[in-house]
Amino acid sequence: MVLNYIWIAFFLIAFVVAAVRLVFMGDTGVFPAIINSTFDSAKTAFDISLGLTGVLSLWLGIMKIGELGGVINIFSRVLSPLFTKLFPDIPKGHPVTGSIFMNLAANMLGLDNAATPLGLKAMEGLQELNTRKDTASNPMIMFLVLNTSGLTIIPISIMVYRAQLGAAQPTDVFVPILLATFFSTLAGIIAVSVYQKINLLNRTILLFLGGASLFIAGIIYFFTTLSREMIDIYSTTTANVFLFLIIIGFILAGIRKKVNVYDAFVDGAKEGFTTAVRIIPYLVAILVAIGVFRASGSMDYIINGVATLVGWCGIDSEFVAALPTAIMKPLSGSGARGLMVDAMTTYGADSFVGRMACIFQGSTDTTFYILAVYFGSVGISKTRHAVPCGLLADLAGIISAIFICYLFFG
């Protein structure tokens, strides 16, 4: 229902802004730009779905081997104490907890292509437990918000873009992104817990959050002892080794259980194609609405308004030039990536604005894209409190990113 209102709002606001530009400013190009954006966005949505087909087939095939080989059950048992508190509606030891962990682990290492199919597999498992098939369940919402908060330990793609655009130290945003995304995830957990009346003062949850905080502090300390070159080597190698170990580990587990790993892979991979086709309408709907909103100039007016407001408050407004990336990130990952690259190209990769845009890009995830793809893959139309909780996590990530960027680079 919330997505329905947001979808309508994008079109209505775009129409009003475009009409004002045409009547009062004589801008005859605004409506052609909007119409062109609908075609471009629809094509982009199809291209994304088509591009996901191969990746979905690969990882759903690997997940099938892991499922038959017992790996998912092992993860379920290990995570059961924590997940029974954060996901009280999931039966203790249920295999879906293993799928959730694999998805979150892939996200933390910045493995976007691997995280999506793993997340879709988790959503299918959660839908099996869902008694109201058109309505998001509490576990689905907690899982989605953990995704949209974008907890990332190693932001590989951002560091690669910085290197390509001539940053002297491409990895200098590593620690700021790690801190900002941690606060975003923490805010998301708290927001969902308040809505769902989950007791966060439980000993298990406190131990987990405290342990996670210590773990992040340890990572920060470890990387501060390394040179920039070594940070690049460690971060890239860790992500790729982790990804390959998943594949090898699942295959070995399948062999140990005497599973026909080839047939299991093929059976799982078949689901990849049907899933990719199933999400096309949802992606077309949300990306076209976002494209129309951008083409009408509404996004530009929001940014200019924020800059004026910040100036009136007497606050340093240098960060405002990077805000398009922050505002676009919940709407479109590729759009935010383009705005991040544009900021680094315009102001310089090592400028405050360039670094700020990178931290914005890494501090949250594509909330509406994730909601459209994940909920769309299982036919969920009533999202309940998923959108407000996801946006609260995004807001926490944006605010913390601003403070952290000034702390490190201001």
pLDDT score of 231: 66
| pLDDT of 332 higher than 80 | no
Q: What are 256-299's pLDDT values in tens digits? A: 988 899 999 998 888 777 777 777 887 788 778 878 888 898 87
The string of pLDDT tens digits covering residues 167-203 is 887 777 877 888 888 889 889 999 999 999 888 888 8
Average pLDDT over residues 233-257: 80
- Is residue 112's pLDDT more than 60? no
pLDDT digits (tens, 9 = 90+) for 72-97: 777 767 777 777 888 888 887 788 88
Which band of pLDDT confidence, cut at 50, 70 and 90, is reported for residue 17?
A: very high
Compute how many other C-beta atoms are within 10 angstroms of the C-beta atom of residue 24. 8
Handedness of CA 286, 291, 292, 296 (dihedral sign): positive
Chain Cα centroid distance, residue 266: 28
Dist CA 368 CA 382 (whole Å): 14
> What number is the average pLDDT over the span 221-235?
70
Confidence of residue 236 (pLDDT cuts 50, 70, 90): low
Q: What is the pLDDT of residue 109?
A: 57
Q: Which of 4-18, 42-56, 157-171, 271-285 has the highest mean pLDDT?
A: 4-18
Nearest by Cα to 349 from 114, 164, 224: 164
Cα–Cα distance measured from residue 63 to residue 253, given in angstroms and rounded to the nearest whole number:
11
Does the structure show a pLDDT above 90 at 215? Answer: no
67-77 confidence digits (pLDDT tens): 788 877 777 67
Cα separation, 57 vs 69, in Å, equals 18
- Residues 54-66: what's their mean pLDDT? 79
* Per-residue pLDDT, 156: 65
pTM of the model: 0.72
